[in-house]
Amino acid sequence: MKILVTGANGLLGQKLIELLEKDDTIQLIATAARPAAIPIHKGEFYLLDITDSAAVDQIIDKLKPDVIINTAAMTQVDQCEVQREACWKTNVLAVESLVNACRRNKVHFIHVSTDFIFDGTKELLDENAIPNPVNFYGESKFAGEKVVMESDISWTILRTVLVFGVTNDMSRSNIVLWVKKSLEDGKTIQVVNDQWRTPTLAEDLAMGCYLAAKKKAKGIFNISGKDYLSPYDIAIRTADFFKLDKSLIKESDSIKFTQPARRPAKTGFIIDKARKELGYEPHSFEEGLQILASQLKSVA
């Protein structure tokens, strides 16, 4: 099976490359807008800006993969709120280009989406929950989903929540790494206690992508962690795990934070469908911290 991955330099992209390289039945094609951030040991790497529709056509028409896993996206929520044109170009128009190329070449398309397509008024959502985004990032990702769903190609949409993990080049931060570094530096941090998520280890999300690709599973699947936590809970558990001073963590609520983009309050996922149909089983949050800790030692 020939699998092409977009966004290979991102956190998910890096984890996915490492996972796919372990499967001798897969021919890996990694793509990114910039030179590869990690070595590609087994497979090929191509520079590809997915917002360049001509380049998308050229690469996919030439390589003719069996599956494309689209991990590329503009994901910084506040940046999307301010830079709307760039956000729409990456999260919607580029998806249209990828879908068109998949149609022409009969490629199965796996699109990674987000919990931020929901308004946060209901907790623990399944795949039938009705999207109603409250910020422009969510609007763009929902629009990208609709491009996929309304197409006549073979497709999978994988929705995920608050991904955390370690990149080899340490180029990406996330809530766990931010809490850990802040406490190690002796900084007092304000963390909200009125939002709830099911944080997702990057390796688990990569596994969800892998399982969906191997089965060419069709439809929408929730791929997230299994622990339903507030950012404050995440910070406390991170401090406990790394034996850091949790007295530096101060509870706050989202009303006190001024951010360009509004955040949904509750977006945890029910993952029963992915467990049953894909064989997906995520790590616990603490198990994820253990994996992250071992990786930090290797990149230190």
- What's the confidence (pLDDT) of residue 300? 61
- What's the confidence (pLDDT) of residue 257? 78
Is 215 within a domain?
yes
Residue range of the domain that includes 40: 2-165+200-224+267-283
- What's the confidence (pLDDT) of residue 82? 97
Is 233 within a domain?
no
Residue with tokens 């991102």: 10
Is 177 within a domain?
no
- What's the confidence (pLDDT) of residue 217? 98
What pTM was computed for the model?
0.97
CA–CA distance, 28 with 143 (Å, rounded to integer): 28
List the beta strands (DSSP E) in 115-229: 155-160, 163-164, 189-192, 200-201, 219-222
Domain of 66: which CATH number?
3.40.50.720
Count the helix, strand and coil residues of the chain and give each as a percent rounded to the nearest 5. 45, 20, 40
- What's the confidence (pLDDT) of residue 273? 98
Is 118 within a domain?
yes
Q: How many of the other CB atoms lie within 10 Å of CB of 149? A: 12
In this predicted model, what pLDDT tens digit does every residue of 225-256 receive, in sequence order?
999 999 999 999 999 999 999 999 999 988 88
CA–CA distance, 165 with 283 (Å, rounded to integer): 12
Which residues have C-beta within 8 Å of that of residue 294, sequence separation ≥ 6? Answer: none
CA–CA distance, 32 with 50 (Å, rounded to integer): 8
Is 289 within a domain?
no
Per-residue pLDDT of the chain (300 residues; tens, 9 = 90+): 999 999 999 999 999 999 999 999 999 999 999 999 999 999 999 999 999 999 999 999 999 999 999 999 999 999 999 999 999 999 999 999 999 999 999 999 999 999 999 999 998 999 999 999 999 999 999 999 999 999 999 999 999 999 999 987 766 689 999 999 999 999 999 999 999 999 999 999 999 999 999 999 999 999 999 999 999 999 999 999 999 999 999 999 888 877 899 999 999 999 999 999 999 999 999 999 999 999 998 876
Which residues have C-beta within 8 Å of that of residue 83, sequence separation ≥ 6? Answer: 74
What the block records as the tokens of 107 is 């490629």
In this predicted model, what pLDDT tens digit does every residue of 208-219 receive, in sequence order?
999 999 999 999
Is 109 within a domain?
yes
In this predicted model, what pLDDT tens digit does every residue of 131-149 receive, in sequence order?
999 999 999 999 999 999 9
Domain count, the chain: 1
Is 271 within a domain?
yes
Is 229 within a domain?
no
What the block records as the tokens of 265 is 């309050």
